[in-house]
């Protein structure tokens, strides 16, 4: 009897030790805040452009690690697909344009999303902001794909104050599974930041926190409270002045979140990743100088994301990192930072050890896009291998190199004439020519052939774009005047 009792006590002691170690392990994992700035241009942050007033963002960036070669897709839904799934959009049928409100589409449910991986490691997971990964069925929405809570909107864009989609008066604002109807008149950046602050103050500090914070700013419509616009009296162009104010409102919202982390004593154990989701849209007053092109193009101005990392676990800071990173890599990188083991059957790879220690990147190539759906308004195809970049066919538009607008009249941008297929062909050495001024395609036919062959290998694995007509069953008038899941 005594022997049996002793055995039971040993088992209980081992179990208690295991649980205490598990609890300790969870407590030691870093909190992770993943901030996405919508349509932010390469040259629209103070750490690149001193005319921009972004003190909170600048402090994090300059005291952390600024990424010089971190790439994103050139549109909203494709980049967010890469962030959450770790898959190239052309492997998920998400490579053409962006999801439209009435399309019965979402990122395939067989892909595990980033918050689902972090929940396996004991994280509390929260999302605040723009989803844009499909919502026709509830299973496609944030709280069914790994988030404990969700506050935000499902579609591409909406009014910053009344939170209705711009093409109709239908509400697109959601608090978990309910419509959020009590926020009319409140600028979304304020609401999102306050929800983040509330979650941080209510968070159980014994559990690691993951917060995905894809702000609406600075996507069109171009709207901001006048006090932020007035921060830029020297900007003559009205659109650019308002846009600049939107960036500063975003900066204040970021500062409010970091202050809440400090107030709760969580900041020192928090890792912050900040990135744009695509290059800035030139015609909407963003700026990517000195890069070529912008959003809707496979030029560098459309695909290099203004981004940085700050905080827990980083060993070499107050520096830049020029290793090649793609949007598909952030999932694996953050899972590694959290102490987990990244999946091996996705397109992304972890750069955590390389970033934190300033070591070379293990990525040597990536795909800009592969889109055979007519017309590929965001650019048909492109690949990077080593220092060289090959563009096949229509690159998207507008084109050119543009400084920030500062004339009374809006600038007029060069538009590329659409041609179907894989021509024209452009080749650049991005390491030597990051602004894409010197086309080498005619001079280096062997390099063109090499990259073309590698591109064809990738193309064999392409999933056709899933871009159906809108479904009448999605009509918000059927659901009390609000965009609602559950119709596909």
* Residues catalogued as catalytic: 76, 132
- Sorted by sequence, the CB contacts under 8 Å of residue 6 that are 6+ apart come out as none
Place of tokens 């993943």: 34
Q: Are 399 and 416 in contact (CB under 8 A)?
A: yes
At 33, give phi and psi (nearest 5°). -120, 120
How far is it between the farthest Cα atoms of the chain? 92
Q: Are 112 and 144 in contact (CB under 8 A)?
A: no
End-to-end CA separation in angstroms for the chain: 62
In whole angstroms, what separates CA 198 from the centre of its chain? 23
Q: Are 288 and 294 in contact (CB under 8 A)?
A: yes
Q: Are 269 and 30 in contact (CB under 8 A)?
A: yes
Helix-helix angle 329-337:76-85, to 10 degrees: 40
Place of tokens 């929405």: 141
Nearest to 274 by CA among 250, 297, 294: 250
User: CA 446 to CA 431: how far, in whole Å?
Assistant: 19
């Amino acid at each position: 009897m005594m022997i049996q009792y002793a055995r039971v006590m040993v088992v209980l002691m081992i179990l208690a030790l295991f649980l205490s170690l598990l609890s300790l392990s969870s407590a030691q994992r870093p909190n992770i805040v993943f901030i996405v700035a919508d349509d932010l241009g390469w040259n629209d942050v103070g750490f690149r452009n001193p005319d921009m007033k972004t003190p909170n963002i600048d402090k994090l960036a300059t005291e952390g690690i600024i990424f010089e070669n971190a790439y994103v897709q050139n549109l909203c839904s494709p980049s967010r697909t890469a962030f959450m799934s770790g898959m190239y959009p052309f492997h998920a049928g998400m490579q053409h344009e962006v999801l439209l409100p009435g399309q019965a589409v979402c990122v395939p449910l067989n892909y595990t999303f980033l918050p689902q991986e972090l929940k396996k490691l004991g994280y509390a997971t929260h999302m605040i902001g723009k989803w844009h990964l499909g919502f026709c069925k509830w299973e496609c929405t944030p709280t069914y794909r790994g988030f404990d809570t969700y506050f935000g909107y499902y579609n591409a864009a909406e009014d910053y104050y009344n939170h209705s989609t711009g093409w109709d008066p239908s509400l697109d604002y959601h608090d978990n599974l309910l419509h959020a109807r009590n926020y009319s008149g409140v600028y979304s950046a304020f609401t999102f930041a306050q929800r983040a602050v509330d979650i941080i103050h209510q968070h159980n500090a014994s559990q690691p926190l993951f917060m995905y914070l894809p702000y609406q700013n600075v996507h069109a419509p171009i709207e901001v409270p006048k006090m932020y616009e007035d921060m830029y009296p020297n900007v003559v162009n009205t659109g650019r002045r308002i846009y600049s104010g939107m960036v500063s409102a975003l900066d204040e919202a970021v500062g409010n979140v970091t202050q809440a982390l400090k107030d709760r004593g969580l900041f020192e154990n928090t890792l912050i990743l900040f990135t744009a989701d695509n290059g800035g849209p030139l015609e909407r007053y963003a700026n990517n100088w000195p890069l070529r092109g912008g959003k809707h193009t496979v030029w560098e101005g459309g695909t290099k994301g203004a981004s940085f990392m700050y905080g827990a676990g980083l060993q070499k800071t107050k520096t830049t990192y020029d290793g090649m990173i793609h949007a598909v890599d952030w999932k694996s990188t953050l899972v590694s930072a959290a102490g987990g083991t990244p999946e091996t059957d996705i397109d992304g790879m972890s750069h955590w050890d390389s970033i934190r220690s300033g070591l070379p990147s293990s990525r040597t190539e990536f795909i800009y896009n592969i889109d055979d759906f007519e017309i590929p308004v965001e650019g048909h195809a492109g690949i990077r291998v080593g220092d060289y970049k090959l563009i096949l066919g229509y690159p998207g538009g507008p084109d050119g190199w543009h400084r920030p607008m500062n004339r009374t009249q809006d600038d007029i941008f060069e538009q590329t004439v659409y041609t179907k297929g894989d021509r024209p062909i452009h080749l650049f050495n991005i390491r030597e020519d990051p602004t894409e001024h010197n086309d080498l395609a005619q001079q280096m036919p062997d390099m063109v052939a090499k990259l073309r062959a590698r591109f064809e290998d990738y193309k064999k694995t392409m999933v056709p774009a899933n871009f159906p007509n809108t479904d009448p069953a999605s009509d918000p008038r059927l659901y009390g005047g609000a965009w609602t899941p559950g119709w596909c």
